[in-house]
Chains A and B, each alone.
Chain A
Amino acid sequence: MRVVFNAQFRQAADEINRTAADLAAAQQLVSSGRRITMPSDDPAGASAAVTDHAALGALDAYTKTADTATSRLTVADTTLSDIVAKLSAAQTAATSARGSLLSQSQRDAAAANLQGITDALFSDVNAQFHGAYLFSGTRATTAPYTTGAGGVISSYQGDHATMSVDLGQGHPLQVAFDGNAITQGNASVDVFAVLTNLITAVRAGDNAGIGQGMADLDRAIDRATFVQTQIGTNLSALDDARMRLRASRLDVAAQLSRTEDADMASAITEMSQADTAYRAALGAFSRVGSVSLMDYLR
């Protein structure tokens, strides 16, 4: 085989180019820490990374939803506790007004107490979260109850629909409630009418009316407690959902890291190998054509 000057130089220069490119790629891998900088580095990995990034985005959105839903349900839960407490207080006040030994002023005091409880109940049922009414079904911008002339409380203004949010594909969770189901349910009149009738009965010393009112309040407490239990169940479902979302997020993030991130130990090893190869190519080039027969002819 004839070894010719030009080919020797060309091959040596090619070798330098190749090893320099390898070294640059290895250095980029180490400095960026990314296994995939271009889709062609690993097409399947890149498309899996696209999916995983989106999955992380969706999981984050569901987590955000779960957080907001938790705050919202906590407010609803607190409000319902308050409603139950108010209704119990109303029963206590009505009990104290029962019997034939009370003076009119005592009855009036009890009635005034009941009126105060009614007002507090009114504002509880109209509770809002971030400006949306919690107990008017899906009419979030409409107050469930309003007061008209002379403090008369209106009938239920919301609707009977409920509202849910998604904590994942096919994981809906109810976050807004039909206020009427709490205040009235299957009863013939709502809790405000019950209280109004009770106040009238207390003022009049109508023991039968007071008894009826107390029975109605019992049922109102049952309805509020029922919804509160539902909310409690939902809150614990939210805790589960958050744990599940966190676990999924960790899984997906780990998978994404395996796809996208460089294995540093092997990347650094590869870089030092590439560095050695590059130095060898440079050394080889310096020897090309450095000696020839010319040196020995005098």
Chain B
Amino acid sequence: MSDLFASLSSVSRALAAQQTGLAVAGENIANVNTPGYTRRTVELSASLPLDAYSTGNGVDVVGIRAERADLIEAQLHQELPAQAREAATADSLSQIEALLGRPGTSVDSNLTKFFDAFSQLAQDPTSGVARQQVTVQAQSLTTAFNDVATRLVSAQQDADAQVRDGVDRVNTLAAQIASLNASMSSAGAGRSDTLRDKLGVALNTLAGLIDISVVGRPDGGADVSVGNGHALVIGADTYQLATSAVAGSGLADLTSGGSVITSAVTGGRIGGLLQVRDRLLPGYQTRLDQLAHTVATSVNTAHRAGYDLAGAAGIDFFVPPAAVAGAAIAMTVSAAIVADANRIAAAATPAAGDNGNARAIANLRETPLAGVTTNPVDTWGALIYRVGTDAQAATSERLGRDEIVKQLQTLRDQVAGVSLDEEAASMMKFQRAYEANARYFSAVDASLNVLMQMLGG
């Protein structure tokens, strides 16, 4: 049995429900550009009639729902670290490529000029100018080796500084996530959705820095661990990452709760930088050192076999490298040779005019080096090839990863993003419904008026 007064209360609830719908559309439009915002929808449901003889009791707002794409978000947490790793690797490698120099303008050209100088000396073994030229070119060669080696070291230090910086940002984000978790447990449903949006942004940023695994909490929060299950955030608690200096190199090791997790970090920007710092750059340094070491030792061996202008036995041309490691950065021409170019052993016999040894050293340019089996310039070419393929691989891998992330983002937005057309339609829908309900209200009001007049009559 419906009555007019019950109708009045039901229609006022209906007006409020349409207003809520309008407000939700307004909220969605307001946040159309907010990062991490998930679109809200209002859930309406018809109220149960008061008794068996009523038609109904209007409408109720059951809730406001955030349209989350949780599965896609979880996939993003896995893909973002890989994308960021490749991006960081590709960026670092493109800088390293640049510092190695173009073919024909770097260490390779210095090697060619160095051997050219010996070939010039072979034409005129007693010429002071030719001898001076050998010294000058040898010094340019050692400077070129020193420079490239120094640049590789500073590239490594640069990557290290960025790793340390990344660790700071990870800790900041961890603290942010923990405080979101804390607020989440005490927040009501409406606030909790906004907090979850913020949490989503923080998790995605974190996934760009380091590979994480995320376990959702019942209240909507998230527990995060890094590097093979070392906790970073559990509820409102954070377990911050720290760095410790690696013995010898002084580079940063990542630690969590005192244990070193560097090798377990393989993703994110930090993972990419670690790969460059610990695997790629040391590989290039070793190749460069090998080249410098074998050039210095084979030239020394050949030089010692000859005789200088005064007929004395040859001395070491380069300061003999102590070890393969660090040979490039330490490469120097012997002080005695720099001081007196006549000490250069051009002759294979004690006769001043002989050029046998200068020819032998000039011919080293086409002689396979001990241990690397290619000639000096081709050994440099092999290093260039290696850096080039690494950079090329990182760049193409990055493109592939970018594509995956873009597609996941598009999929997520299809579920969670705000469509202005949709919101316009929904605005109109609720506005019209409000108008109609208001009309009904005035109809009920008019009916009551009729009743009142009769009574008052």
Please give the residue numbers on chain A whose beta carbons come within 8 Å of chain B beta carbons, in ascending order. 1-7, 10-11, 14, 36-44, 46-54, 57-58, 60-62, 64-65, 68-69, 130-133, 136-142, 159, 161, 163-166, 169, 172, 175-176, 260, 289, 292-294, 297
CB of A276 to closest CB in B, whole Å: 21
Q: Which residue of B lies closest to A132 (CB)?
A: B126
CB of A11 to closest CB in B, whole Å: 7
Chain B residues, CB < 8 A from A292? 420-421, 424
A37 touches B102 (CB 8 A): yes
A57 touches B381 (CB 8 A): no
4 shortest A-B CB distances, which residue pairs? A140-B353, A39-B388, A43-B388, A4-B417
Q: For the complex, give the distance between the alpha carbons of A131 and B437 in Å.
A: 115
Q: For the complex, give the distance between the alpha carbons of A166 and B365 in Å.
A: 13
Of the candidates A40, A65, A165, A169, the one having the most CB atoms from chain B within 10 angstroms of its own CB is A40
Besides the known contacts A2-B422, A43-B387, A293-B424, 6 further A-B residue pairs in the complex with CB atoms under 8 A apart: A6-B417, A43-B392, A51-B381, A132-B127, A163-B353, A165-B359
A38 touches B391 (CB 8 A): yes
Q: For the complex, give the distance between the alpha carbons of A294 and B378 in Å.
A: 66
B353 touches A137 (CB 8 A): yes
Interface of chain B residues 15 through 66 with chain A (CB within 8 A): 32-33
Chain A residues, CB < 8 A from B94? 38, 40
Q: Which of B105-113, B189-197, B215-223, B226-234 contacts A (4 or more CB under 8 A)?
A: B105-113
Of the candidates A14, A36, A40, A50, the one having the most CB atoms from chain B within 10 angstroms of its own CB is A50
B377 touches A131 (CB 8 A): no
CB of B130 to closest CB in A, whole Å: 10
Q: For the complex, give the distance between the alpha carbons of A163 and B409 in Å.
A: 75
Does B349 make an interface contact (CB < 8 A)? yes
Partner of B388, one of A5, A40, A133: A40
Of the candidates A49, A130, A166, the one having the most CB atoms from chain B within 10 angstroms of its own CB is A166
Does B363 make an interface contact (CB < 8 A)? yes
A7 touches B414 (CB 8 A): yes
A60 touches B116 (CB 8 A): yes
Q: For the complex, give the distance between the alpha carbons of A289 and B420 in Å.
A: 9
B424 touches A294 (CB 8 A): yes
Interface of chain B residues 84 through 129 with chain A (CB within 8 A): 93-94, 97-98, 100, 102-104, 108-109, 111-113, 115-116, 119-120, 122-127
Interface of chain B residues 363 through 401 with chain A (CB within 8 A): 363, 365-366, 377-378, 380-382, 384-392, 395
Partner of A2, one of B104, B419, B428: B419
Q: For the complex, give the distance between the alpha carbons of A51 and B422 in Å.
A: 63
B420 touches A46 (CB 8 A): no
A169 touches B112 (CB 8 A): no
Chain B residues, CB < 8 A from A64? 116, 119-120, 123
A65 touches B381 (CB 8 A): no
Partner of B395, one of A1, A40, A53, A137: A40
Please give the residue numbers on chain B whose beta carbons come within 8 Å of chain A beta carbons, in ascending order. 32-33, 93-94, 97-98, 100, 102-104, 108-109, 111-113, 115-116, 119-120, 122-127, 347, 349, 351-355, 359, 362-363, 365-366, 377-378, 380-382, 384-392, 395, 406, 409-410, 413-415, 417-422, 424-425, 427-428
Q: For the complex, give the distance between the alpha carbons of A60 and B109 in Å.
A: 13
Knowing A6-B33, A14-B406 touch, does A50 contact B353 (C-beta < 8 A)? no
B417 touches A2 (CB 8 A): yes
Knowing A4-B419, A50-B377, A293-B420 touch, does A139 contact B32 (C-beta < 8 A)? no
Chain A residues, CB < 8 A from B363? 166, 169
Q: For the complex, give the distance between the alpha carbons of A176 and B389 in Å.
A: 49
B420 touches A68 (CB 8 A): no
Chain B residues, CB < 8 A from A42? 388
CB of B18 to closest CB in A, whole Å: 17
B111 touches A54 (CB 8 A): yes
A65 touches B119 (CB 8 A): yes
CB of B408 to closest CB in A, whole Å: 11
Of the candidates B355, B363, B388, the one having the most CB atoms from chain A within 10 angstroms of its own CB is B388
B351 touches A57 (CB 8 A): no
Chain B residues, CB < 8 A from A62? 119
Chain B residues, CB < 8 A from A140? 125-126, 351-353
B108 touches A50 (CB 8 A): yes
Q: For the complex, give the distance between the alpha carbons of A292 and B421 in Å.
A: 6
Partner of B365, one of A49, A58, A132: A58
B352 touches A11 (CB 8 A): no
B103 touches A53 (CB 8 A): yes
Q: Which residue of B lies closest to A130 (CB)?
A: B124
Q: For the complex, give the distance between the alpha carbons of A139 and B112 in Å.
A: 29
B418 touches A138 (CB 8 A): no
CB of A68 to closest CB in B, whole Å: 5
A163 touches B410 (CB 8 A): no
Knowing A6-B33, A130-B127 touch, does A61 contact B362 (C-beta < 8 A)? yes
Chain A residues, CB < 8 A from B418? 4-6
Chain B residues, CB < 8 A from A48? 381
B104 touches A39 (CB 8 A): no
CB of A137 to closest CB in B, whole Å: 7
Knowing A60-B116, A293-B425, A294-B424 touch, does A50 contact B414 (C-beta < 8 A)? no
A50 touches B349 (CB 8 A): no
Q: For the complex, give the distance between the alpha carbons of A142 and B309 in Å.
A: 12
A163 touches B377 (CB 8 A): no
Q: Which residue of A lies closest to B393 (CB)?
A: A40
Q: Which residue of A lies closest to B111 (CB)?
A: A54
B349 touches A138 (CB 8 A): yes
Q: For the complex, give the distance between the alpha carbons of A185 and B208 in Å.
A: 85
Chain A residues, CB < 8 A from B116? 57-58, 60-61, 64
Q: Which residue of A lies closest to B112 (CB)?
A: A57
Chain A residues, CB < 8 A from B406? 11, 14
Chain B residues, CB < 8 A from A138? 347, 349, 351-355
A65 touches B123 (CB 8 A): yes
B384 touches A46 (CB 8 A): yes
Chain A residues, CB < 8 A from B354? 138, 161, 163
Q: Which residue of A lies closest to B431 (CB)?
A: A297
Q: For the complex, give the distance between the alpha carbons of A289 and B29 in Å.
A: 13
B349 touches A161 (CB 8 A): yes
A132 touches B103 (CB 8 A): no
Chain A residues, CB < 8 A from B125? 140
Partner of B381, one of A40, A50, A165, A166: A50
CB of A186 to closest CB in B, whole Å: 23
Q: For the complex, give the distance between the alpha carbons of A297 and B420 in Å.
A: 12
Knowing A47-B385, A141-B126 touch, does A61 contact B115 (C-beta < 8 A)? yes
Q: For the complex, give the distance between the alpha carbons of A297 and B120 in Å.
A: 87
A-B contact pairs, 26 of them (CB 8 A): A2-B414, A2-B419, A36-B102, A38-B98, A39-B100, A39-B385, A40-B97, A40-B388, A40-B395, A43-B384, A43-B389, A43-B392, A47-B378, A47-B381, A49-B103, A50-B103, A60-B116, A65-B119, A65-B122, A132-B127, A138-B347, A138-B349, A139-B351, A139-B353, A161-B349, A297-B427
